[in-house]
Amino acid sequence: MMPAMFAKSAALRRSLLATLAYFDLFDYPLTLAEIVRFRYRIDAAAEGDPSYAEILAAVTMPRVGQSRGFYFLKGREAIVETRLRRYRIAERKFIRAGRAASLMRFLPSVLMVAVCNSLALSNAREDSDIDMFIVCRRGTVWSTRLIIVGVLKFFGLRPRERAVGDPLCVSFFVSENALCLEPLALPAGDTHLRYWIVPFVPLYAVGRTYARFVAANRAWLAPEVALAPRSVGRRRSLPRPFVIAPILGLLRRVEGLARRIQLSVLPDDLRSAMNRDSTVVLTDDILKFHLKDRRREFESRFQARLKEFCAEPVCAVS
pLDDT tens per residue, range 224-275:
898 887 778 765 544 445 557 788 999 999 999 999 999 999 999 999 999 9
**Number of independent structural domains in the chain:** 2
Using one digit for the tens of pLDDT, what is the confidence trace for 188-222? Answer: 889 999 999 999 999 999 989 999 999 999 999 98
Instruction: Check whether 291 has a pLDDT greater than 70.
Output: yes
Q: Is residue 315 part of a domain?
A: no
Identify whether residues 42 and 125 lie together within a single domain: no
The pLDDT assigned to 204 comes to 92
* Residues 132 and 225 placed together within one structural domain of the fold: yes
Write down the pLDDT at residue 228.
82
Tens digits of residue pLDDT in 23-74: 999 999 999 999 999 999 988 888 888 999 999 999 999 999 999 999 999 9
Q: At a CB cut-off of 8 Å and minimum separation 6, what does 317 contact?
A: 60, 61, 62
> In this structure, are 288 and 303 located in the same domain?
no
Tell me, yes or no, whether 233 lies in a domain: yes
Average pLDDT over residues 104-118: 94
In a domain, 305, yes or no: yes
Q: What is the mean pLDDT of the chain?
A: 90
Question: Does 182 share its domain with 305?
Answer: no
Is residue 317 a part of any domain in this protein?
A: no
Residue 318 domain-assigned (yes or no):
no
Question: What is the reported pLDDT for 243?
Answer: 59
Q: Please report which confidence band the pLDDT of residue 158 belongs to, taking 50, 70 and 90 as the band edges.
A: confident
* Domain span at 130: 89-293
pLDDT, one tens digit per residue, over 71-91 is 999 999 999 999 999 999 999
Q: Are residues 153 and 242 in the same domain?
A: yes
